[in-house]
C-alpha cells in the first residue's frame, strides 16, 4: 500500500508495518515473466540466468536461432526463445502479443540487445551511424512502447535499459555507439517521468568493461585501450556478465520498488576512476 498524504496538511503518513517485504521475498521474481532481448549470449544470457534463478519465466530473443536454443537448454524449463531482429520495428508489436498470449503478461522488459563499432569518427559513414543508432536506440524505443502500453494498462511493470560507460565520458572511436547509449540514458529519464505514476518503473544499468564477445572485439589487439580501461577502473579488473545479471534482478524486484529514472553503474568504479 502506498503511504497516504493528508491533503489538508500535506503530511505523508508513516507507512504501515505491513508494507515491509521480508528478505525471503523481496528479491524474488517468482511468477514474473521477463522479456530479454539479445539473451542468447553475453550479458543478456546472464541476465536471463539470474532472473531464472530468482524465479522468473524468461523469454530471450536474438537473430540467430542456434545460440538461443543452446541457451534455453542450459537455462531449463522456465526459459523460452523467439527468433527476432529488434531492428524490424514493425514486427515488435506482434512479438509482444505472441509472447503474452503464450506466457502471460510481460512484467519485466530488459532492452539488452546491442551492437558496437570501433572506428575513428571521420571514417564513420552515415550508414554505419544509422545502423548502430537503429539497433541500440530506435528499436529500444519501439519495443519499450509496445510493452509499456500493456504494462500501463495493467498498472505494473519494470523496464531496464542496458546503457554503457560510453554515455558517461568520451571514449574515442565509438561516436555512433556513444550517441546511441546517451540517447538511451535520456529516454530513461523521460519515460520514467511519464510512466512511474502509472505503476511502471524505468531504469538503466550502465556496465563498465564486462567480459563478453563484444568487449573482446573492442579490446582485441589493442593493449593500449585495455591498459587505459583498467587504469581508470579502481577494482582493476573486468566485470562478469552475471554482475549485470544480479543488478537487473535487483532493479526488477520489489527491493527496487522506489527506484525509477536511475542509471546504475556496475563498473568496478570505472565511472569515478581518475
* Interface with ligand NDP, residue 115, by CB under 6 A: yes
Stretch touching ligand NDP by CB under 6 A, among 32-40, 93-101, 192-200, 252-260:
32-40
CB atoms within 10 A of CB 123: 9
DSSP for 159-222, written as a single string: EEEE--GGGTS--TT-HHHHHHHHHHHHHHHHHHHHHGGGTEEEEEEEE-SB-SHHHHHHHTT-
The C-alpha cell that represents 192 in the structure block? 520514467
| 203 forms part of the interface with ligand NDP (CB under 6 A) | no
**Contact between 148 and ligand NDP per CB under 6 A:** no
Shortest approach of ligand NDP to residue 259 CB, angstroms?
20
Q: Can you tell me which of 28, 61, 144, 260 binds ligand NDP, judged by CB under 6 A?
A: 61
Segment interacting with ligand NDP (CB under 6 A) among 12-20, 59-67, 141-149, 188-196: 59-67
List Cβ neighbours of 210 (8 Å cut-off, separation of 6 or more): 43, 238, 239, 240, 241, 243, 244
Active-site amino acid positions = 177
Q: Does 162 participate in binding ligand NDP (rule CB under 6 A)?
A: yes
Binding segment (CB under 6 A) for ligand NDP, from list 19-27, 120-128, 168-176, 206-214: 206-214
**Binding flag, residue 86, ligand NDP (CB under 6 A):** yes
DSSP string computed for 3-49: PPEETTTTEEPPPPGGGPPPHHHHT--TT-EEEEETTTSHHHHHHHH
Count Cβ atoms within 10 A of the Cβ of residue 196 and give its class: 0-12 exposed, 13-18 middle, 19 or more buried: middle
**Residue from the set 28, 57, 112, 203 that interacts with ligand NDP by CB under 6 A:** 112
Q: Which residues of 224-236 are buried (b: 16+ CB within 10 A; e: fewer)?
A: ebbeebbebbeee
Q: Is 51 in the site for ligand NDP (CB under 6 A)?
A: no
Q: Is 121 in the site for ligand NDP (CB under 6 A)?
A: no
With CB under 6 A as the contact rule, the residue among 28, 95, 178, 207 that binds ligand NDP is 207
Using CB under 6 A, pick the residue from 26, 117, 179, 214 that binds ligand NDP: 214
Under rule CB under 6 A, how many of the chain's residues touch ligand NDP? 30
CB of 141 to ligand NDP, least distance (A): 14
H or E stretch at 93 = helix 92-103
In 3D space, the residue among 52, 48, 51 whose CA is nearest the CA of residue 67 turns out to be 48
Residues at the contact surface with ligand NDP, assessed by CB under 6 A: 37-38, 40-44, 61-64, 67, 85-87, 112-116, 135, 162, 164, 207, 209-210, 212-215
Amino acid at each position: 500500500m502506498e503511504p497516504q498524504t493528508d491533503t489538508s496538511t500535506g503530511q505523508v503518513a508513516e507507512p504501515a508495518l505491513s508494507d515491509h517485504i521480508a528478505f525471503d521475498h523481496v528479491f524474488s521474481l517468482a511468477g514474473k515473466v521477463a522479456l530479454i532481448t539479445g539473451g542468447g549470449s553475453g550479458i543478456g544470457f546472464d541476465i536471463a540466468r539470474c532472473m531464472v534463478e530468482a524465479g522468473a519465466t524468461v523469454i530471450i530473443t536474438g537473430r540467430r536461432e542456434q545460440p538461443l536454443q543452446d541457451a534455453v537448454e542450459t537455462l531449463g524449463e522456465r526459459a523460452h526463445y523467439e527468433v527476432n531482429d529488434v531492428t524490424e520495428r514493425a514486427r515488435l508489436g506482434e512479438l509482444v502479443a505472441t509472447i503474452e498470449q503464450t506466457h502471460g503478461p510481460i512484467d519485466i522488459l530488459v532492452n539488452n540487445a546491442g551492437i558496437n563499432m570501433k572506428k575513428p569518427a571521420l571514417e564513420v559513414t552515415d550508414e554505419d551511424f544509422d545502423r548502430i543508432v537503429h539497433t541500440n536506440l530506435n528499436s529500444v524505443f519501439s519495443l519499450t512502447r509496445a510493452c509499456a502500453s500493456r504494462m500501463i494498462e495493467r498498472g505494473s511493470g519494470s523496464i531496464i535499459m542496458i546503457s554503457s560507460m560510453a554515455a558517461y565520458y568520451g571514449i574515442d572511436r565509438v561516436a555512433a555507439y556513444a550517441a546511441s547509449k546517451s540517447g538511451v540514458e535520456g529516454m530513461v529519464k523521460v519515460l520514467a517521468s511519464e510512466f512511474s505514476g502509472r505503476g511502471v518503473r524505468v531504469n538503466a544499468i550502465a556496465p563498465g568493461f564486462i567480459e563478453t564477445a563484444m568487449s573482446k572485439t573492442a579490446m582485441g589487439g589493442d593493449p593500449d585501450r585495455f591498459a587505459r580501461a583498467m587504469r581508470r577502473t579502481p577494482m582493476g579488473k573486468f566485470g562478469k556478465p552475471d554482475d549485470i545479471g544480479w543488478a537487473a534482478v535487483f532493479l526488477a524486484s520489489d527491493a527496487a520498488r522506489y527506484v525509477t529514472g536511475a542509471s546504475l553503474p556496475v563498473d568496478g568504479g570505472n565511472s569515478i576512476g581518475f
